[in-house]
Structure 1
Amino acid sequence: MNEPISIMMQKLISTVDMDDSVEEVEAKLRINNVSAVPVIEGKTGAVIGIISARDLLRFHAEKRDPAALLAWEICSYRPIEVSSDTPVSEVAKLMVTHGMHHIVVTDNKLVKGIVSSFDFVKRFIHDD
């Protein structure tokens, strides 16, 4: 478990800009078949938050219009970020300690991927 998280992270397929509508966010999650997506600040590419399926469930429970709200209005701010060379064991500890299901992988402040609790399940099933 001392291997770098880059060996099991999902290479980033998609991010959303903080000014994308929630409707656009939902479409990207569906199209890419993922359960979370980092929210970035358009000019710098810096991660400002993350939107997960859980965030969207909470949003829909409030019966709000997905075309009328922007990603920055519903995202979870300041997600945990690790570099691609962070050991797998350290990422696992962060997830458990903070009760997180997704961690964003960045190098030089640019998004490289995302790792989810499901990625850990897949890894251990394949290691048997």
Structure 2
Amino acid sequence: MRIQVKDFMSTPVTTAIGEDSVHDIRTLMKEKGIHAIPIISYTNDKLKVEITIRGIVTATDLNKVVHENTTIDDVMTSSNVYVVHVDSSAQAAAKMMLRYNVHHLVVMEEGDIKGMISSLDFVKLVAEHSLG
């Protein structure tokens, strides 16, 4: 049985914009019980809203910040945001996380954010499936 990303990704995805404050994002993460949020921007064409992933902010990023009014633009990681397709295999996603030494992947399909995968999602996957 080939396990695909869509079989174990976390949904729905909470997103934020760069102008949000560290305080607001800390509160949001605590309320939702999440540890990473994609930072997006969007353009609203009359025919379609186009979303661009500008970065990702993690609980680790926020732990480095002292001032609550700092904007997420100032603390987000913008160079190491990795994306995987919903139909990718769990193995391909795991290899990507290992190769780039990241704990979160954004799951996309046709330009839309469909989910997130974290290291914890892989732990849950192993716990739920018999390995031998």
Q: Scaled by the length of structure 1, what TM-score is found?
A: 0.88
What displacement does 1:20 show? 1.1
Q: Distance in 2 between matches of 1:19 and 1:108?
A: 26
* Cα RMSD for the two superposed structures: 1.5
What letter is aligned with 1:116? S
Residue 53 of structure 1: aligned partner: 59
What displacement does 1:17 show? 1.2
What displacement does 1:19 show? 1.5
Percentage of identical aligned residues: 25
What displacement does 1:105 show? 0.7
Give the structure with higher Rg (CA).
2
**Is the contact made by 1:47 and 1:109 (CA closer than 8 Å) also made in structure 2?**
no
Query: Structure 2 unaligned runs (5+)?
Result: 44-49
What displacement does 1:73 show? 1.3
Helix, strand or coil for the counterpart of 2:51?
A: coil
Q: Distance in 1 between matches of 2:20 and 2:51?
A: 14
Q: Distance in 2 between matches of 1:97 and 1:40?
A: 24
Helix, strand or coil for the counterpart of 2:124?
A: helix
Q: Scaled by the length of structure 2, what TM-score is found?
A: 0.86
| More helix as a share of residues | 1
Superposition map of 1:28-107 within 5 A: 28-43=28-43, 44-59=50-65, 63=66, 65-67=67-69, 69-78=70-79, 79-107=81-109
Helix, strand or coil for the counterpart of 1:46?
A: strand
Q: Distance in 1 between matches of 2:91 and 2:19?
A: 34
In the TM superposition, structure 1's runs of 4+ consecutive aligned residues that sit over 4 Å from their partners are: none
What displacement does 1:98 show? 0.8
Q: Deviations over 1:93-120 (max 9, x none)?
A: 0001111000011122221111000100
What displacement does 1:9 show? 0.4
Q: Deviations over 1:68-113 (max 9, x none)?
A: x211211111400111111111000000111100001112222111
The size of the alignment, in residue pairs, is 123
Q: Distance in 1 between matches of 2:109 and 2:74?
A: 26
Q: Deviations over 1:19-50 (max 9, x none)?
A: 11111111110111001111111434211111
**Is the contact made by 1:47 and 1:111 (CA closer than 8 Å) also made in structure 2?**
no
What letter is aligned with 1:37? I
